[in-house]
């Protein structure tokens, strides 16, 4: 047998179909040519140009695993591979695609009326229209059921008041999917989802500055003051937390793949640096302690890759339970953070700069650990699955 590929030690990608491999390569090539050369600048400036959406849309990466309405309709494994290759450049890029495709577009596709779908999905798939997803509030993070944003009826209209915090792409979005508590006396059954064009009077998005993580991604506070919407702005069928949780489950699936990309990129940077950098008259890759780190990183990256690949196949077979998504998100983000921190030590002083990707990934992964369900919440989800006891409260 041939010597293992240092970047795919267990040859996990050998199991991909020809189409999946083509998608992987197309995303990898596009990311290397168009995104990687600019990412350090975007990160440093805390910016992300809106026009990246058009390129991602032309590759079919926006709403990639959705059917119809101009979406690519690929399988889940292909979507995961795209997330992996984007996050190998930066978690902010994968976040952009996750929010557009798995949160905003998925919500409209799964829960919207036919009119919502026709109005928004084709333009969102091309990147001409951008979406955001407003669930979290300043005082309602892990416990979204405690949200304070309210939607009340006024005649046929809905009127929204409240605010949302930490909303990715909030300042870029043309449409916001906003989750709000409705008045039970109006017979409207608790939390409902609303399709809110961001030019509706009373809607404002304020960028959150001074982030030290996920800087190549824009994050906003949304303020809703008397935002008046027509009766049909609400998702017609779904009520309660089931609506937003179904979307989060999709996005978490992309994250567990994405983390593999970030980890792989850190490990590759460390490997290449270790082979070039000489101290005490020899490459630092020749020291046993460095090889131990490289071996630990190879194991972690490949175990995470195997986890993602297995979870992808379960999803394609429609056999994936949310607790298995929690397993993947918790295991792979934790592994990626460990790899990033180890890789950073291999780079010595250079490891703390933007010249190399490692520290950028490491700070990004601190957000990835927290959003879409913190590590603790996913541990509780796994705990509930194996014990039958919910320990959330
Ligand atoms: P909290 O819920 O206050 O948690 C604080 C700590 O308490 C954590 O360690 C948590 O695990 C722990 N904790 C809480 N409850 C329990 C419990 N029962 N048992 C044990 N430990 C517990 N949200 C959106 O809606 N849309 C977005 O687009 C979006 N993008 C984001 C982008 C960024 C950069 C960031 C940082 C966040 C984003 N979020 C978004 C919000 C994100 O999902 C929340 O930050 C996350 O859910 C955690 O909520 P919190 O920050 O309020 O922390």
> Which ipTM value was assigned to this complex?
0.99
Q: Whose CA is nearest to atom 23 of ligand 1?
A: 136
What pLDDT was estimated at residue 125? 98
Cβ–ligand 1 contact at 383 (below 6 Å) = no
C-alpha closest to that of 273 among 194, 214, 355, 388: 355
Catalytic residue annotation = 372
Cβ–ligand 1 contact at 374 (below 6 Å) = yes
Cβ–ligand 1 contact at 135 (below 6 Å) = yes
Q: How far is the CA of 289 from the centre of ligand 1 (A)?
A: 37
Number of the ligand 1 atom closest to the C-alpha atom of 142: 2
Tell me if 214 sits within 8 A of 197, measured CB to CB: no
Other CB atoms within 10 A of residue 16 CB: 17
Q: How far is the CA of 135 from the centre of ligand 1 (A)?
A: 11
Which pairing describes strands 157-168 and 150-154: parallel, antiparallel, or unpaired?
A: antiparallel
Q: Whose CA is nearest to atom 27 of ligand 1?
A: 167
Number of the ligand 1 atom closest to the C-alpha atom of 143: 2
Number of the ligand 1 atom closest to the C-alpha atom of 376: 11
How far is the CA of 46 from the CAs of 267, 283, 324, in angstroms? 25, 35, 34
Q: Which residues contact 287 (CB under 8 A, 6 or more apart)?
A: none
The tens-digit pLDDT sequence of the chain (393 residues) is 999 999 999 999 999 999 999 999 999 999 999 999 999 999 999 999 999 999 999 999 999 999 999 999 999 999 999 999 999 999 999 999 999 999 999 999 999 999 999 999 999 999 999 999 999 999 999 999 999 999 999 999 999 999 999 999 999 999 999 999 997 765 567 999 999 999 999 999 999 999 999 999 999 999 999 999 999 999 999 999 999 999 999 999 999 999 999 999 999 999 999 999 999 999 999 999 999 999 999 999 999 999 999 999 999 999 999 999 999 999 999 999 999 999 999 999 999 999 999 999 999 999 999 999 999 999 999 999 999 999 999
Other CB atoms within 10 A of residue 38 CB: 16
What pLDDT was estimated at residue 183? 79
Residue where the block lists tokens 């650990």: 369
pTM of the model: 0.97
Q: Whose CA is nearest to atom 22 of ligand 1?
A: 376
What the block records as the tokens of 22 is 């083509």
- Give the whole-angstrom CA distance, residue 204 versus residue 215: 21
């Amino acid at each position: 047998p041939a010597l293992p590929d240092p970047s795919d030690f267990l040859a996990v990608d050998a199991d991909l179909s020809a189409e999946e491999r083509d998608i992987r390569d197309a995303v990898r090539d596009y990311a290397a040519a168009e995104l990687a050369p600019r990412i350090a600048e975007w990160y440093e400036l805390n910016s992300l140009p809106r026009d990246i959406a058009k390129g991602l849309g032309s590759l079919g990466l926006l709403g990639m695993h959705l059917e119809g309405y101009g979406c690519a309709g690929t399988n889940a494994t292909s979507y995961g591979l795209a997330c992996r290759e984007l996050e190998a450049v930066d978690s902010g890029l994968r976040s952009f695609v996750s929010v557009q495709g798995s949160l905003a577009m998925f919500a409209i596709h799964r829960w919207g009326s036919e009119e919502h779908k026709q109005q928004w999905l084709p333009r969102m798939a091309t990147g001409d229209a951008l979406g955001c997803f407003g669930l979290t509030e300043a005082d309602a993070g892990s416990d979204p059921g405690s949200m304070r944003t309210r939607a009340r009826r006024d005649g046929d209209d809905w009127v929204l008041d409240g605010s949302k915090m930490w909303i990715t792409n909030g300042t870029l979005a043309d449409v916001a999917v906003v989750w709000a508590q409705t008045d039970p006396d109006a017979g409207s059954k608790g939390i409902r989802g609303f399709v809110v064009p961001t030019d509706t009077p009373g809607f404002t998005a304020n960028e959150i500055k001074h982030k030290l993580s996920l800087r190549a991604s824009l994050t906003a506070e949304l303020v809703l003051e008397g935002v008046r919407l027509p009766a049909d702005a609400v998702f017609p069928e779904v009520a309660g937390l089931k609506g937003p949780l179904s979307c989060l489950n999709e996005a978490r699936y992309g994250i567990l793949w994405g983390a593999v990309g970030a980890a792989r990129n850190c490990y590759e940077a460390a490997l290449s640096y270790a082979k070039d950098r000489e101290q005490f008259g020899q490459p630092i890759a020749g020291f046993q302690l460095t090889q131990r780190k490289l071996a630990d990183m190879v194991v972690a990256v490949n175990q995470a890759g195997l986890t993602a690949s297995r979870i992808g196949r379960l999803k394609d077979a429609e056999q994936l339970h949310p607790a298995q998504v929690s397993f993947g998100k918790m295991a792979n983000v934790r592994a990626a953070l460990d790899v990033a921190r180890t890789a950073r030590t291999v780079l010595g002083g250079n490891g703390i700069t933007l010249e190399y990707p490692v520290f950028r990934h490491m700070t990004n992964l601190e957000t990835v650990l927290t959003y879409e369900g913190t590590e603790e919440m996913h541990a509780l989800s796994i705990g509930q699955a194996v014990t039958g006891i919910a320990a959330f409260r």
